Amino acid sequence: MKCKILSESKGRIRVHAMVGSMSIQDADVLEFYLRAVEGVGKVKVFDRTCDAVIKYTCDRENVINSLAQFSFSDENAKALVPDHTGRKMSRYYQDRLVALVARRYAIRLLLPHNVRVALAAFGALKYVREGLAALRDRNINVAVLDGTAITVSLLRDDHDTAASVMFLLRVGELLEEWVRKKSVDDLAGMMALNVDKVWVIKDGKETLVPAFEVGEGDTVVVRTGNMIPLDGKVTGGEAMVNQAAMTGESMPVRKAEGSYVYGGTVVEEGECRFIVDKASGSGRYDRIVKMIEESEKLKSETEQRAANLADRLVPYSLAGTIISYILTRNVTTAMAFLMVDYSCALKLTMPLAVMSAMKESSEYSISVKGGKFLEAVAEADTIVFDKTGTLTHAQPTLAGIVAFGDNDADEMLRLAACLEEHYPHSIANAVVQAAKDKGLDHEERHTEVEYVVAHGITSKIDDKRASIGSYHFIFDDEGTVIEDSDREAFDSLPEEHSPLYLAIDGKLAAVLFIEDPLRENAGQVISKLRELGFANIVMMTGDSEKTASHIAKYAGVDKYIAEVLPEDKADFVRSQRAAGHKVVMIGDGVNDSPALSEADVGIAVNSGAAIAREIADITIEADDLEQLVILKKIADALTLRTKKDYKVIIGFNSLLIALGAMGIVQPQTSALMHNASTLLISVNNMRNLLEDEQ
């Protein structure tokens, strides 16, 4: 594609595509193509002007070459675009808003007075009907107030005021609908599939293939902790599947032969094989949207409180109107209470503030599934970390391997990788990567793999039982023995690393040592979190006391708990909440899922297990704990903003009512100032909360 550079600065370039025009679809293809370029950060494509703004950290030549190689007809580039990007929806509402404003001023400037009066009367019917319907249902709410204000204006032959009120109400309704739709669209996007590769049965063997290569009729295998990538019918196995993202069901659903599974759901326990019948997972987005729209997931307590307060204040506004008229016999004075109400500002500005905070979070690669979770983060006083993959690096490495008996170390590493690659977790990834680095190809030698949460994996290899996992699992649960000839070597194993034990046929075969170093900024992040209000900072791990003590000391946590099982983590979180604490839990593995569910806010690392991401309320990037500090700052700033909004809305509108009641401000002016203040607060609430962090 030919481009012209319009402007340029360090790490930022604005180009103009030398094409006749650019459709919405073309803009999406170019934007997502550029986002996929390594070293490119934020990208914004403007389809109307055919411009693109690109921020990058790579070499400038990489960006230029990528633009030169781009083609709108490139199928690989098109494949990068998700089903729903939000661009078409935003354009729809932008056009509607422009049309609404243009229509308003065209009517005022071009049509004669009599026609404007007729249009105002016709437009008022909708609001009068809604007000009467509310009264019929014995509800004195905002609809009653709006209908009364418009009716009184028309009866006073003040059609311009009635038309202005209706115009501003329509603008408010359109903006509120836009915000709501965008909220759902953003959240549905956050819940989109994050599956790169899939286990497919080919020629009787399990083969790991890219997800986009899977088609209808292929047989896919999914095991504990993994996400079901596509829709299909189960042909074998049995699994408990978490379908919360699709149906809202809180309990996992049993899936056996003949059952139907949906893309985006997660296997909590067991494994199943199914035949794909919808390669694209069609219908998933629509099902997610329906689930979200039928739930209260998006609404924070702040938004609900604002909506409830708005309705509760309506009777007082009506009472003020009646009392004012009785005392003054002046309709203009009484109109002050009708032209100014608190509901419009409260109901519009609060959702905007919350959604703006969620959008700002996403700019830092923090996905928040609902406003109420930001509110909970702001109120939390306790934060609980899982160690591996959170406080320590998300990509631990294999420090070494000691083989026992007559076993060969490389062969044991090959076998360990063969088992571990089925259950992606930071430790499993370390084993698989070590085998890859050594060039140890591991064909599937085992039969069915069984995963025991927080313990390990078992299978059959050459008709011998093979197990890999924790000390408790291998020696206590599996009853593994150590040969007398290996006892001395076993007792002298180093203790500074996390051990992973491999047993074959009931005998210890090897010990793999996982190097799990603390993140460089972990101590600094924990110190900042303490300054931001977390009074209790806890680390929990299944590792040994010695390993846990070492990490906890350098991390600077207030407390640590070692050698815990998943139920122990969940019990601890539950006990903290019972003691009156507001708890945030951070984890990345299958074994963290129960604790994530128990916490007021569950935060998952996005490189962790699918079930952890599914259950979590918030996800963060694996490589940067600093995001927790940013998240806390955004949550705190949102709380301050909404509190300030309450004071400004109540204070300013009360002042307008008082000035109107005293005859100082006319009703039309009050209505204009009221709606102008609402729009100003709304615009302010769409600004980023962390301006200093940008």
The answer to whether 181 and 293 have CB atoms below 8 angstroms apart is no
Question: What residues form DSSP beta bridges with 200?
Answer: 207, 220
pLDDT at 368 (0 to 100) = 85
What is residue 208's predicted lDDT score, i.e. its pLDDT? 81
- 374 closest CA partner among 689, 690, 638, 682: 638
> Measuring CA to CA, which residue among 616, 582, 583, 587 is closest to residue 602?
616
Closest to 268 (Cα-Cα) out of 597, 619, 612: 612
Per-residue CA distances from 205 to 202, 208, 219, 445, 447 (Å): 5, 10, 11, 10, 10
**Which 3-state string (H, E, C) describes 346-361?**
HHHHHHHHHHHHHHHH
Q: Report the C-alpha gap between 155 and 12 in whole angstroms.
A: 58
Contact in structure between 143 and 113 (CB atoms under 8 Å):
no
Q: Write out the E strands in 562-645.
A: 583-587, 601-605, 618-620
**What's residue 633's pLDDT?**
96
- Which residues fall within 8 angstroms of residue 366, CB to CB, at 6 or more apart? 618, 619, 620, 621, 627, 630, 631, 634
State CA 436 to chain mean position distance.
33
**Helical packing angle, 87-110 and 159-190, nearest 10°:** 170
233: enclosing H helix or E strand: strand 231-242
Closest CA to 365 of 31, 608, 41, 39: 41
**Any idea what DSSP says for residue 519?**
P
Structural contact between residues 223 and 458, judged by C-beta atoms closer than 8 angstroms: no
Q: How confident is the chain (694 residues) per 10-residue block, as mean pLDDT?
A: 92 92 92 90 90 93 93 85 79 91 91 91 92 87 82 85 83 75 65 68 81 81 82 89 64 86 80 78 56 55 68 76 79 71 73 81 82 91 89 81 92 89 76 89 66 74 87 89 92 82 93 86 93 95 81 91 86 94 89 87 80 81 82 94 89 84 76 79 84 52
Q: Is 454 helix (H, G, I), strand (E, B) or coil?
A: coil
Q: What is the pLDDT of residue 244?
A: 63
Q: What is the token pair recorded at 418?
A: 């063969």
Encoded tokens for 6: 């319009």
Q: How far apart are CA 659 and CA 661, in angstroms?
A: 5
Instruction: Measure the CA–CA gap between 223 and 237, rounded to whole angstroms.
Output: 10
pLDDT at residue number 293: 57
Q: Is the pTM of this model over 0.85?
A: no
355 to 168, 245, 346, 350, 686: CA distances (angstroms):
22, 20, 14, 9, 8
For residue 611, give the nearest of 636, 633, 627, 593 by alpha carbon.
593
